[in-house]
Each structure stands twice: as C-alpha cells, then as structure tokens.
Amino acid sequence: MAWYVTIAVILGPLFVLMGLGLPVAFAFLAVNLVGSYILMGGLSGVEQLVLNTIDSVSSFTLIPIALFMIMGEAMFRSGIAIDLMDTLDKWFGKLRGRLALMAVGGGVLFSTLTGNSMGSIALLGSSLTPEMEKRGYAKPMSLGPILGSSGLAIMIPPSSLAVVLGVIAEISIGKVLIGIIVPGLLMALLYIIYILGRCHLQPELAPPFDVPKVPFGEKVSATVINILPLAFVVFSVVGVIFLGLATPSEAAATGAFATLILAAARRRLTPKVFGDTMFSSANISVMVLLIVSGAVTFSQLLAFTGATYGMVDAVLALEISDSAIVFAMIMLVAFMGMFMGPLPIMLITLPIFVPIVLQFGFDPIWFAAMYLVAIETGATSPPFGAALFVMKAVAPIGTTMADIYRAAVPFIICDLLAILLLFFFPALVTYPVDLMFR
Amino acid sequence: MDQSLDKLRHIFSRLNLLCAILGAALLFFIATIICFEVTVRAFGGSSRLWVIEVSEYALLFITFLGAPYLLEKNAHVVLDLLYASLSRKPRLIVQTLNAGIGFAVCGVLTVVGIQVVLDQFSTGTREVTVMRPLSWWITASLPLGMGLMSVQFLDQLVRSFRGEVL
Amino acid sequence: NAVTLAPKPVYINKPFAQFVEEVNEKFAGEIEITWRGGPEVMPPFKQAEGVRNGAMGMTYTSPSYYQGLVPTSGTMNLSFKNYDEISATDYHERMTELHAEKDLILVGEIPATQLNFQIYMKDEVSGLEDLKGKRIRVFPTLLPLVQALGAEPIVLPMGEIFTALERGAIDGYMQGPLGQAEQFGGLVKTVIQPGVYRAGFPVLVNKDIWAEMSPDLQQRLTTFLRDDFAPRMDSIWAEDIAASRKAMEEAGFKFLELPADEAARYEKIAMDAAWDVTAANAGADIAAELRGMLDK
Ligand code: NA
Ligand code: NA
C-alpha cells in the first residue's frame, strides 16, 4: 500500500471515532487495538499493545507533567495566582492584554525549567486561565498565549527534547542548546507583537482594568506581599537546576512543594484546599497521561506500517533544490506533529535527515533549531497535537475544542513565520553558536 | 431490578472514587519522595536509587486508578466539534455506539491484560531496572483500570438503551 | 518482521542491516526478513517479549534489555574474550538452551567485542580512587560495577544526562566509545581506559516461526550466523573507534590509561561485581558454569 493510503486508512477511523464524541484516549485505544490485532499477529499483537501501553505511561519524562499540575492547581486554589494578577492589574491595569503578555512571560520563565511543553501548559493553564476568563479575556487571548508560549519550553535550555535531538542526530548538544535560544526569544517576540496588535484591533478581547488610581505605596506593598514570595517558588524550580541540586524532572517536585509551602505560609492551605488541589491535579494528570500513552502507541503502530518512512522518502525524492528539500523536511516534521508525538517523529526522521543536511553542506545546528520549532509547532497543531488535548483538560469547563483550535492557529502562524525567518537568516542561529564556541 | 441496579451502581461508584483518591495520594507520595531525595542530596547525603523507579510505577497506577472515576463523571477529554450539536435522537444513537465501542475495547484489554499478567507471573518475568520487581505487579494496573472502565461503559450502554441522554 | 534496539540508520544497526540483506539474498524463497524499525516501533525493553508472544518475528537487541525474562542474557556482555574465543566454548549452545526454557530461539549473536563501556568524568581524575563518592549515571546493568568502585550510581533518562552533567547533579557517566565527542564535547575532561565488558547483540526469533522452518533450514541459518557472519562482524569497529577517539582528544577529553596492575584490578572488580549479581538473579551454579566459559 502506498504510504498515503495507509495513513488515510489508519487516521480515518481515528477522526471518525473522535468526531463522534468517543473520549480521545479511548479513540486512540480503539484504533491501536484493532491496528495491532491486524498488523501484529492477532492476539499476540494485543498482548504487545498491553506491554507497550504500560511502557509508555511508566516513564520518568512524564512525571513533571503531573507535578506541574500540582503547582498550577495549588496556585489557583490557594488564591496565589489571583493575588498575582491583582497586583499586575494595579501596576499595568491600563495596558491591554497584560495578562496575555504575562502568560508569554510565564512561558519564557517556565521554559527555563522544563523541556516538556506539556508541563508548561499544565502549570499556566490551570493557574491562569480560570482567572483570565473571569476578567473578561476572550478565549483567543487566554488560551492562545499559553498554548503558544508553552512551546518555548523546548526552545530555551534546559530542553530535554533538544538533548534527545543531539543524541539521536549525533550532533553537539551544547551547540544545539545555545543555538535554540535566539529562535526561542524570536518566537516570544512574535507572540508579543501579535498579542499587542490583535488587542489594538479588537480591544474587546482583552478588557483593561479600570484602575481607580492606586497609590504608589499600595502598589509596592502589594508587590512585596504577592509577588516577591513567588521568587521562592521560582527559585525552587529554576534555582535548584541551576545550582545542580536537582535534575529538571526533580525540579518539578521541589516546585510543587514550594508552592504548597507558600500557600501554607499564607494560611491559605486549608485541608479542603489541599485535598482539592491533589484530587484535581491527579484527575487532570490521568486524562493527559491516558491520551499521551494512546498517542505514543498510535505512533508506534504508524511506524510499524512503514507509512511514516514512506512519507519521509517521498519528501526526499522531490526534485527541488537542496535548500528547498531542507525546508520540505522541516514542514514534514510540523505536519507529522499533527498526529504523532515528538519522540517518535524524532526517532524516525532525524537519523535520515541529518546525514542529508550534512551532505548538502548545511549547518546541522541551524537545521536542529528549525527542526525544534517545527516539533513545537506540530504539538500545538490541530487536530491531534497533544498540547491541545492537555489544554482541553485544564481549561475552564465549557471550553470547546473549536475554541482551542481557533486560539492556537495565530500562534502556529507565528511559529511558521519564525521558521521562515530562521530559514532565510541562518545567522540568527549560527552567530551566537560561533560566539560561544570559537 | 432497578433497585439492585442502583445498588450496584452505588458500589462501583464508591470503588471508583476510592481508586481515584488512592491515585491522588500516590501523586502526593511521589512529589514527597522526589523532594525528599533532592533535599537529602543537597545536604550531601547519598542518593536513593529507587525513587525514580517507584515514581514511574506510581504514575502508572495513578493513571489506571484514576481513569474509571473520570469516565463515570464523563470528564475525559472529548473532541466536541460535532457531538455537542446533535439533537436528542442522533445523540442517543452516537452515545450507544460510543458506549459499545468503549465497552468492547476496555473488555478486550481487560481480558488480554489478565492473560499477560498470568503469563508474566508464571514465567517470573522481572523488570530490567534497579529494583527488578516482578513485572506482573506493574502490568496488573492495566487490567484493573480497564476492568472498572468496562463496567462504566456497560452502564452507559444500559442507560443508552433506556433512552437516557448522558 | 524484525525490530531492533535502535532506529534504522543508527550506527549500531550497521551489521544487522547487512545481516538482513545477506539472509534475504542467500535464503531467497525460504526466509524473508522485513525490518520494521527500532524503538519507534516497539519499546526497546519490550522487544524480546514481543518476539516471545509473536507480535514480532525477530529482534536484534541488547542482551541486558531482557534480563528480566532470561536472567542470564546479560552474561553476553561479561567477557574480555573475542568472538572466536567464546565461540570455541559451549557458551552459545548453553545460552540457546537457556533461551529455549523461556520459549525464545537464540539464533546467535552479532558480536562487537571492541564496543566496551567506558567511564566519562566531568573533572580530571587521576585514578580509580578518585571515583569514590562520585555520582555516575549508569544503565541498570552497570550499576554493580559502579557500586563496587565506591561511586554512587544514578539512573537518569538519557535526555537529562547533559543538563545534569553541566550543572553538576552528576559527576560522570558510563557509555560506549562512539559519538561522545559530538554530544558531550566541552563537558568531559577524563575518559578512563581501558573500557570494560564487551558488546554482543543477540538475534532472537519467535518459536512458532522457527517451528515452521525445516530442521535443515534452521541448521543452515544458525550456522550462517554463528560460523560465517558473526566472525566477520567482530572487528569492524576499529576504524570508527579510532576516529571517535581522535574526535574526543580534539574536544579536550583526556584519556587516563590505568597502569597495568590497576587496570587488572579494575577489570576484576567489573567482572566480580557483575557475576555476583548474575549469580543472585539466575543461580550460583549456572553463573559459575557460564563464567567458566567466558573468563580469559
Ligand atoms: Na508555540
Ligand atoms: Na526549557
């Protein structure tokens, strides 16, 4: 079977099942079940599906998602997040879209601690969106910035995906980590321009806060009370990694604890708040993990059919210039992200792409940077980008999938723009690397 | 008939809730042990190798213990593009179909999951890790969760046949 | 259908790619191997189980990945002999029996004696004594050795080695000899020489598929792998290792050559520690029997 037929045959039922309202996780399970039965020798294929599913969930790389969920829920339920926004309102109340900008800022900040964008969404989504909504922010301005900026997690070191890329592609991890910083900041900049522009054109999306002239002293005291203690939380995540006290995954746990301690110190951690925090963060983790595991085993099935390899070969067989082929590779990666997880995509494409890029004589670090932006774009792309489902799990009740898709699209366009800029201006990547490694 | 069905529902509902609470407790447990590990290490203590591994297994149990409760509450992530706009009649049909598919999938995975557990039990397979636990302990989480979820889907099926829109 | 421990184009699969090609040509009409891919198709630690239950027909995997199923499988790493020397003993025959007990067919191994494990340290190290108390990232298989050296083994996901090393959460790690300069250039100061253990990658086949083959065909395939193909593969890595060493030296890695007696002590510690664990997991008798065949 041609690769596109295979993909259609496998993706078709997935579309239909999800479209009919079967929960996403079970739609994946159903397709995986039938697929492994047909492809991998009947019942033994299903036995293998059980083993693969177990393997995909019991993974240390997923632990930060659950732990950041605790952090986000604790911030929201103990009112720490609300205080933070109140204080920001006192300072920047007249600035339209200030909370959306804060989400981007938060994305940048938290990107310094995890290589997994889902952890970022978990944290920012659960702590910020309910309150943003209350303050009259429309969905594109509350969900979008979080979806967009969460992807910065893999663009700013430490980034476990960048390291995995270095390992699979056998290129310098250090250079990749330096090379992706400017692209990451470029993306953040594009998001900010978009937010400011859209708020200017459609002011109703992000209402300003009518500040009844707050005295300066009150602003300062609010900052001291509500924002400074957050430095403790930030330290417990970023600081411990920086000082070599914890690995990035472990830092999620210290962050969760620091948030609980902060809530307790402010006498907000009643037994009810604590119980609710743990119960709902466990619940959301369950939804997300079940989907992630379904998606991982789905990717394995796709890889087994050889369709993904066929897709890769088809792109390489295009009769276009070398640099156009490189661009097509990057676009293929973003496309695969619409229905596959980052890791399987990397395992399938990198060992094939990187030697070709080298053979063409291009800089592999430049390629790696665009590649990671593409991976990131794919993860937030409809219909099946995993980040979208995570957002759906943490978003306030009543948020539809269509809301999330609509919110994501402008940020995907920003990402594609970033890829184009990097493609035409490789110096954005290579200059900092040369500076550091001369 | 109705009464005993309600009673049964009540029992399973309690069971689901209990599992979900257990899952939440496990989540707090892993946050605690990882934090403890970091703290002890920061003060020059040695590393406890089992922490990472126990957390991984706990994650598995959190997932499969918590999933049945969420299914009961209809809280799993749904792609609601089309489904939400349906009127009563077609919605009932789709709902029945979904419950049927869910029941079949979870049912099969329960049975096959138990088979895998029994097989690993009889061959004495262990995980290739620091702690080397017997694999069947780990694998058992899946049929446990899937079993409870097939009961939930069965209940949805029953309700659908009775014309209840969920 | 076959699956491998690493994605298709990765260097470690080079000999397997050739194996697939040669088998498909030599046994045309009798055996056809379709290589589906690596960990993107089936998680590495579940591949042997996949062959056992029939979801996959064949795997080329790491012996340590399925020690949970066949407790003696890891012994394939525990030797300083080369392939021909091991092949002269009954080791492969004995291992075939031990695999059969768990319903797995061991066709043979594709050896890579030169791909041993080396200790890479962030700081300068002047001897084994300096490793005491250091945090070293390992695969679970290498854990007994690191413990026996008085260092502290740490188990981390691959993706975190770099950051952990950079920030000092770990002091070193153990890996094979290839690809290190590219990945960890600038972070590693010392590589301890010699490396320890050996690499050999078992080729496993599902027992039902095996049973469908005639005894004659089974014999011919086994003989082809064990007596023709494997000996040819054992020393193909020399060039790559030399190139990789050169790259590491250029990247500032210093090679610490242990003095002969210290090296001997190190090798003994490595073997004793690993065999003790094998004895505990698989039984003292079988461990002693296998060790008798593998020790120099
Ligand atoms: Na983005
Ligand atoms: Na990051």
User: What does the pLDDT look like over C7-45, one tens digit per residue?
Assistant: 887 788 999 999 999 999 999 999 999 999 888 899 888
| Nearest one of C284, C262, C266, C267 to C275, comparing CA atoms | C284
Q: In C, residues 63-82, which contact B (CB 8 Å cutoff)?
A: 64-69, 71
Which residues of C are less than 8 Å from A251 in CB distance? none
Q: Which residues contact A344 (CB under 8 A, 6 or more apart)?
A: A296, A299, A300, A302, A303, A308, C40
Amino acid type, A354 = V
Residues belonging to chain A: 438
Beta C172-175 vs C135-137: how paired, if at all? parallel
Nearest CA of chain C to the CA of B130: how many Å?
6
> Which numbered ligand comes closest to the C-alpha of A103?
1
Q: What is the pLDDT of residue C72?
A: 94
3-class SS at A49? helix
Task: Say if A174 is an interface residue toward chain C (CB within 8 Å).
Answer: yes
Q: What is the pLDDT along chain C (296 residues), one digit of tens a residue?
A: 888 888 887 788 999 999 999 999 999 999 999 999 888 899 888 999 999 999 999 999 989 889 899 999 999 999 999 999 999 999 999 999 999 999 999 999 999 999 999 999 999 999 899 999 898 998 777 889 999 999 988 877 666 788 788 877 789 999 989 888 888 888 899 999 899 999 999 999 999 999 999 999 999 999 999 999 999 999 899 999 999 999 999 999 999 999 999 999 999 999 999 999 999 999 999 999 999 999 98
Which residues of C are less than 8 Å from A173 in CB distance? 162, 183-184
Cis peptide before A432 (omega within 30 of 0): no
Nearest CB to A348; choose among C1, C40, C158: C40
Disruptive mutation site among C64, C69, C152, C154 for chain B (greatest number of B CBs within 10 Å): C69
Q: What is the pLDDT of residue B108?
A: 97
Neighbours of ion ligand 1 (CB under 5 A): A 148, 151, 415
Nearest CB to C155; choose among B127, B130, B135: B130
C-beta separation of C70 from C98 below 8 A: yes
B-C C-beta contacts closer than 8 Å: 38
The rounded distance, in Å, linking the Cα atoms of B28 and B40 is 18
Nearest CB to C157; choose among A40, A60, A246: A60
Q: What is the pLDDT of residue A210?
A: 67
Q: Chain centroid to CA C115: how far?
A: 8
Nearest CB to B34; choose among A22, A54, A250: A250
Cis peptide before C153 (omega within 30 of 0): no
Determine the residue of chain C that is closest to B130 in CA distance: C140
- Tell me the pLDDT tens digit for each residue of A233-245: 888 877 787 787 8
* Owner of token pair 């909504």: A133
**Number of alpha helices (DSSP H) and beta strands (DSSP E) in chain A:** 23, 0
Question: Which chains pack against C, by 3+ Cβ pairs within 8 A?
Answer: A, B
Banded model confidence at residue A115, pLDDT cuts 50, 70, 90? low
Task: Say if A23 is an interface residue toward chain C (CB within 8 Å).
Answer: no
Task: Say if B129 is an interface residue toward chain C (CB within 8 Å).
Answer: yes
Task: Say if B47 is an interface residue toward chain C (CB within 8 Å).
Answer: yes
Banded model confidence at residue A116, pLDDT cuts 50, 70, 90? low
Residue C162 structure tokens: 């770099």
| Nearest one of C190, C119, C189 to C149, comparing CA atoms | C119
Banded model confidence at residue A219, pLDDT cuts 50, 70, 90? confident
pTM: 0.88
Q: What is the pLDDT of residue C255?
A: 94
Flag the least confident range among A103-112, A327-336, C132-141: A103-112
Q: Chain centroid to CA A170: how far?
A: 24
CA of B35 to the centre of ligand 2 (A): 20
Asked if the model's pLDDT at residue B1 lies above 70, the reply is: no
CA of C201 to the centre of ligand 2 (A): 36
Cβ <8 Å between C42 and A52? yes
Residues belonging to chain B: 166
Which residues of A are less than 8 Å from B94 in CB distance? 20-21
Q: What is the pLDDT of residue A235?
A: 84
Residue C272 structure tokens: 């004793």
Which residues of A are less than 8 Å from B41 in CB distance? 245-246
Asked if the model's pLDDT at residue A329 lies above 70, the reply is: yes
- Tell me the pLDDT tens digit for each residue of A254-312: 989 999 999 999 888 999 999 999 999 999 899 888 988 898 898 899 889 888 888 88
Banded model confidence at residue A228, pLDDT cuts 50, 70, 90? confident
The rounded distance, in Å, linking the Cα atoms of C262 and A256 is 47
Determine the residue of chain B that is closest to C68 in CA distance: B126
Nearest CA of chain A to the CA of C140: how many Å?
15
- Tell me the pLDDT tens digit for each residue of A34-48: 999 999 888 999 999
C-beta separation of A116 from A63 below 8 A: no
Nearest CB to C9; choose among A173, A304, A351: A351
Q: What is the Cα gyration radius of chain C?
A: 19
Which residues of A are less than 8 Å from B105 in CB distance? 26, 29-30, 33
Nearest CB to C152; choose among B46, B128, B135: B46
Nearest CA of chain B to the CA of C278: how many Å?
13
Which residues of C are less than 8 Å from A309 in CB distance? 8, 37
Which residues of C are less than 8 Å from B46 in CB distance? 152
The rounded distance, in Å, linking the Cα atoms of C89 and A12 is 55
The CA-based diameter of chain B, rounded to the nearest angstrom, is 66
Q: pLDDT: is A226 or B70 the higher one?
A: B70
* Owner of token pair 């995975």: B109
Which residues of B are less than 8 Å from C152 in CB distance? 46-47
Which residues of A are less than 8 Å from B27 in CB distance? 66, 70, 278, 281-282, 285
Determine the residue of chain C that is closest to B136 in CA distance: C68
DSSP 8-state symbol, C206? E
- Tell me the pLDDT tens digit for each residue of A337-377: 888 878 778 878 887 888 888 888 899 999 999 999 999 89
Whole-complex ipTM: 0.90
Q: What is the pLDDT of residue C285?
A: 94
Cβ <8 Å between C155 and B135? no
Cβ <8 Å between B127 and C68? yes
Q: What is the pLDDT of residue A221?
A: 86
Task: Say if C167 is an interface residue toward chain A (CB within 8 Å).
Answer: yes
C-beta separation of A371 from A273 below 8 A: no
> Which numbered ligand comes closest to the C-alpha of A157?
2
Nearest CB to A44; choose among C40, C45, C54: C54
Alpha-carbon separation of residue A59 from A67, A74, C175, C199 (angstroms): 14, 24, 21, 26
* Owner of token pair 């393997």: A55
Nearest CB to C152; choose among B47, B127, B130: B47
> Which numbered ligand comes closest to the C-alpha of A154?
2
Q: What is the pLDDT of residue C206?
A: 95
- Tell me the pLDDT tens digit for each residue of B22-42: 999 999 999 999 999 999 988
Which residues of C are less than 8 Å from A160 in CB distance? 157, 159-160, 163
Nearest CA of chain C to the CA of A259: how many Å?
23
Phi and psi angles of residue C199, each rounded to the nearest 5 degrees, phi first? -115, 145
**How large is the average pLDDT for residues A85-98?**
77
Nearest CA of chain A to the CA of C184: how many Å?
7
